[in-house]
Amino acid sequence: MDILKNFPNSGNKDTRSGFGAGVAEAGRRDSEVVAFCADLTGSLKLDEFQKENPDKFFECGIQEANMVDAAAGISLCGKIPFIGSFANFVTSRVYDQIRQCVAYAGTNVKIGASHAGITLGEDGATHQVMEDIGMMRMLPNMTVLNPCDYNQTKAATIAAAKYNGPVYIRFGRPSVPNFTPADAEFEIGKAIKMVEGSDVTIFATGHLVWEAINAAQVLSDEGISAEVIDIATIKPLDTEAVLASISKTGAAVTAEEHLIAGGLGELISGVIARSGSLYPMEFVAVDDKFGQSGTPARLMKEYGLDCEHIVAAAKKALSRK
Amino acid sequence: MANIDTLNSIASQVRRDIIRMVSKAGSGHPGGSMSSTDFITALFFDKMKHSPENWSRNGKGNDMFFLSIGHVSPLFYSILSRSGYFPIDEMATFREYGSRLQGHPCTEKGLPGVYMPSGSLGQGLSVACGAALGKRIDKENNFVYVLIGDGETQEGQIWEAALFAAHHKIDNLIAMTDWNGQQIDGSTDSVMNLGDLEAKWKSFGWEVIVADGHNMEEILATFDAAKAASGKGKPIMILFRTDMGHGVDFMSGTHKWHGKAPSAEQAAEALKQLPETLGDFKI
């Protein structure tokens, strides 16, 4: 079966550009949208919004803590603030600010987290945050989005602007295939079935969705029918879709550019544990270590996050049925 | 303008409320609450534009007040209830299970007058900067006030906000520092010397006013001066010189009452020094 033909790549693009385009579009649709950036306007692709809304864009310099709380403050006045920085600088560095004035306060702040995960590549471990999903999903009131390509990131950003409440949006730096439809509306809290299958389910998120689709093709060529579900919303998790799929296929693989601790795999294993049924499950994620410099492709391979590792994990899960 | 005697008598009741709340709860922070009492009383009962009965969290059409030092919640709750934001008898629930009057202020339980949770220090000045920018975008001609502590200025984020406010010319912002010179572990001089606070804020590009935080006449004049200095491209900082625990002789001027509740006997002794002017809340 030719699975890949259903996912034509309209040209490689970085997901951070989807965020920038999404914020600009959200600004055109709603005059209350404002943006803050901490000396990374170009990296976050916020230039377009800044150019169109010079009075609603606030450069913060290199001070992320102030940025988070200033955004929380302006949100009280009915504004819809997007803030942007690298994923580690808008999570671990400012966790207390997010906890008190965004999550606990329930303020309408949208946190744009770029350069997430190991695919940041050459910058190395100080910048490759792989704990952010865990940190953000632990916070009550926080919605956590991890879209998979340019189009989906743009749509998720526009959806975040419309949603009332704190949202964390995670995306990355490398150019990756852009394979979801340009006109698809993003529905927060809905898992997206990318490939229908019957033997094993691959729950993937972010950059790993493309790897999972490719893995489904490889498995299909070997006679294994894999279902691929894009968990674009980590929180609230579409538990119904997760259980429906896993009870059909009877085995699960999770794939994410994140540590096992706090990640999608742990999240779904918890859903399974509470479901009353037992299913074999394998984790494609990083196990309790930091990253290092290298090309994104090399790192994905070395850290076990690519198509090949998903295929192996799927076969292992199947063998444990 | 409110009568100075009237404001002083309200301040006496506020200090009574602080002592009674903390004493009843058996915990809380009376020292800083009492050092900030006089100027926050002047602000809420005379100088600030607000609508206690029709409070809305978006602050539209009103001045907004942010409390960055969330631990002085007894002061905040007394001031809010005495201003009419909620019934005064609710003060009796301070720090109790299910109360809207949590140990540190929160928004989750919907207490009118609280715009933002506080407790983790260093954040309120940044929040106030954001709210002031919101009012600027909306072309609103109202002020944003924020109270920070002198010990709190040891937090690096305060100086991030100091740079940010000056850079973005946030001139509808009036910040106040309770400069009582004390913090939990001792005097600010001994714990982490703040140096010349006035020079520091000036060098960051702020308009700075130093005032006696216990002289009602001077406090009122200071707020007038601060308002007159607004709209000129600079954020404003009022450094109020105060004594921690002011109003009760055995609590005054020491860090020892920063976060300690008086015993029943000590509370009774303290209340003797603070005339009941507006009627105590029921316990």
For residues A184 and A163, is the Cβ–Cβ distance under 8 A?
A: no
Its ipTM equals 0.97
What are the phi and psi torsion angles at A97 (to 5°)?
-65, -45
Cβ-defined contact of B127 to A70 (cutoff 8 Å):
yes
Find the chain A residues whose C-beta atoms sit closer than 8 A to any C-beta of B. 34, 55-56, 58, 60-61, 63, 65-79, 81, 96-97, 99-101, 104-107
Average pLDDT, chain A: 97
Q: Which residues of A touch B138 (CB under 8 A)?
A: 77-78
Domain limit, last residue, from A126, A149, A176: A176
Per-residue pLDDT of chain B (283 residues), as tens digits, is 579 999 999 999 999 999 999 999 999 999 999 999 999 999 999 999 999 999 999 999 999 999 999 999 999 999 999 999 999 999 999 999 999 999 999 999 999 999 999 999 999 999 999 999 999 999 999 999 999 999 999 999 999 999 999 999 999 999 999 999 999 999 999 999 999 999 999 999 999 999 999 999 999 999 999 999 999 999 999 999 999 999 999 999 999 999 999 999 999 999 999 999 999 999 9
Query: Do A144 and A67 belong together in one domain?
Result: yes
Residues A238 and A145 in one domain: no
**A234 and A98 fall within a common domain:** no
Chain B nearest-CA distance from A111, in A, is 15
**Considering the domain boundaries, does residue B283 fall inside one?**
no
Domain that includes residue A193, residue range: 187-319
Q: Are B155 and B119 in contact (CB under 8 A)?
A: no
CATH code, domain carrying A42? 3.40.50.970
CATH number, domain of B97, equals 3.40.50.970
Cβ contacts of A15 within 8 Å, gap of 6 or more? A147, A148, A149, A150, A152, A153, A171, A172, A176, A207
Asked, for residue A211, whether it belongs to a domain, the answer is yes
* Per-residue model confidence (pLDDT) at position B1: 58
Question: What is the CB-side half-sphere exposure of residue B40 using CA atoms within 13 A?
Answer: 31
% of chain A surpassing 90 pLDDT: 100
Shared-domain flag, residues A59 and A203: no
State residue B2's pLDDT score.
73
Are residues A133 and A43 located together in one domain of the fold? yes
Nearest CA in chain B to A108: B58
Spatial distance between the Cα atoms of B123 and A70, rounded to a whole number of angstroms:
9
User: Which token pair is A264?
Assistant: 């999608």
For residue A61, the chain B residue with the least C-alpha distance is B164
Please indicate, yes or no, whether residues A61 and A168 belong to a single structural domain of this protein: yes
Domain count, chain B: 1
* A182 assigned to some structural domain: no
Chain A interface mutation, best of B62, B144, B164, highest count of A Cβ atoms under 10 Å: B164
Residues B4/B230, Cβ–Cβ less than 8 Å: no
Q: Is A64 a catalytic residue?
A: yes
Task: Judge if A160 and A286 occupy the same domain.
Answer: no
Which of B60, B119, B131 is nearest residue A100 as measured by Cβ atoms?
B119
3-state secondary structure of B41: helix
> Which of B137, B138, B143, B169 best tests the A interface by mutation, with the highest count of A CBs <10 A?
B137
Domain assignment present for residue B277? The answer is no
CATH number at residue A271: 3.40.50.920
The CA distance from A250 to A200, in Å, is 6
Query: What is the spatial distance between Cα B44 and Cα A48, in angstroms, rounded to a whole number?
Result: 43
Mean pLDDT of A123-128: 95
The count of domains in chain A is 2
Mean pLDDT of A163-172: 98
Please identify, among A176, A202, A234, the residue that sits at the C-terminal boundary of a domain. Answer: A176
| pLDDT score at A137 | 98
pLDDT of residue B60: 97
**A7 lies in a domain?**
no
- Active-site option among A25, A64, A131, A211: A64
Q: Is residue B281, in this structure, part of any structural domain at all?
A: no
What is the secondary structure of A245-272 as a DSSP string?
A: HHHHH--EEEEEEEESTTSHHHHHHHHH
Task: Tell me if B236 is assigned to some domain.
Answer: yes
Domain identity same for A291 and A210: yes
Residue B278 within any structural domain of the chain: no
* Whether residue A53 is found in the same domain as residue A162: yes
**In terms of domains, do A158 and A59 share one?**
yes
* Residues comprising chain B, all counted: 283
What's the pTM value of the predicted model, to 2 decimals?
0.97
A83 pLDDT higher than 90: yes
CB spacing of B57 vs A76 below 8 angstroms? yes
What is the rounded average pLDDT of the residues A59-78? 98
Say whether A78 and B168 touch across the interface (CB within 8 A). Answer: no
Read off the tokens for A219: 């498995």
B169 at A interface, C-beta within 8 A: no
Q: Are residues A19 and A91 in the same domain?
A: yes
Please, which residues 103-142 of chain B have a Cβ atom closer than 8 Å to chain A? 106-108, 115-120, 122-124, 126-135, 137-138
Residue A1 inside a domain? The answer is no
- Mark yes or no for CB contact A104/B122 under 8 Å: no
Please indicate, yes or no, if residue B147 is contained in any of the structural domains: yes
Q: Are residues A167 and A200 in the same domain?
A: no
- Give bridge partners of residue B29 from the DSSP assignment: none
Least CA distance to B166: which residue of chain A?
A: A60
What range defines the domain where residue B32 resides? 4-272
Indicate the residue of A78, A97, A99 with minimum beta-carbon distance to B58.
A78
Domain end: A151, A176, A201, which one? Answer: A176
Phi/psi at A20 (5° precision): -60, -45
Could you tell me which residues come within 8 angstroms of residue A178 by beta carbon, excluding any fewer than 6 positions away?
A9, A10, A11, A12, A13, A149, A150, A151
